[in-house]
Copies of this chain bind each other. A is one copy, B any other.
């Protein structure tokens, strides 16, 4: 037997909450020759990625770039750059990632108010409106696609509520970007971050982000330096923009190649078509599950296509069922997080995973483990 562990990596069909299955051309991109982080051709690729991100986020924001860390680094980056100690911040929570926002902002010294909503239900804008009448906030933050529950939150509606409000609007699009519409300029979003390993179908390692001019103003008007050198956008922007690229940190070069290719795949297919494909495959999944008597957690009106929370089928044990899916069928799905642990499974159909053949393979497999 080889003493190289990598020789025994099996191909697993990734149908969990991310990472998702990856197109062969993204693996190819990942292993292109490494260039220097200040190499003139790499700088051109950076510009290419910026333009692709602007297209997919539907924004003209100049500060559109991938943060050099995974999705949670994007969350950290957005808060650490835009929060100053004592800032009143309103966070809307209906799952693990809303909770994480509260934790991140609190550690940075924000004065956090949290509105909590039932897991599996969307954020209720009427309650948000009421809260906005009680206090003025510097930041209002919400998760667009709550990966822990499969709920789509009303990103556009929250934008309308915040239209005449001075608060910056922060939106987590880790799981939504590339799977459903994300139109941050139209919605009035001021800061957004995502992850590469969800609907972009790229390995984890970068967090695409974008900051509006209002967010950049807040950043440049800070009274205190950003208490995080690595994620300080006021420095990073000099590397990702401007005529003279100033060295900040060494960007993950090959991950950027992979992101370029993954974004190109979506833009070449056409974002609208990609979203339709997610929806179509999602409906096929739901129909198949219903046939098997497996119940969805979220009401049809608020379901995400790419993240399907299902109740663990009767008679199947959580860990054992997932183990059998992984070992016998080479399929990964996700367990429940937080309050949903032991009750719910999460089935991802993200990006390249969103294909009829994979849903059919999954339906066969779950039928088998329910026997």
Contact = CB atoms under 8 A, between A and B. Distances in A.
A204 B72 contact: no
B8 A41 contact: yes
Interface in A30-76: 30-37, 39-41, 44-45, 48, 68-73, 75-76
A118 interface: no
A83 to B, nearest CB: 11
Q: What DSSP secondary structure best describes chain A's contact surface?
A: loop
Contacts of A359: none
Given A19-B253, A34-B22, A257-B9, A76 B44 contact: no
Given A252-B70, A254-B205, A12 B35 contact: yes
Contact of A5 (B11, B45, B100, B107): B45
Contact of A252 (B14, B108, B203, B247): B203
A208 interface: no
A72 B229 contact: yes
Contacts of A9: 32-33, 35, 41, 45, 257
B72 A230 contact: yes
B249 A73 contact: yes
Contact of A34 (B14, B33, B69, B225): B14
A69 B228 CA distance: 13
A251 interface: yes
Interface of A: 4-6, 8-12, 14, 16, 18-19, 22, 27-37, 39-41, 44-45, 48, 68-73, 75-76, 80, 100, 103-104, 107-109, 195, 197, 203-205, 225-231, 247-255, 257, 260-261, 264, 326, 332, 337
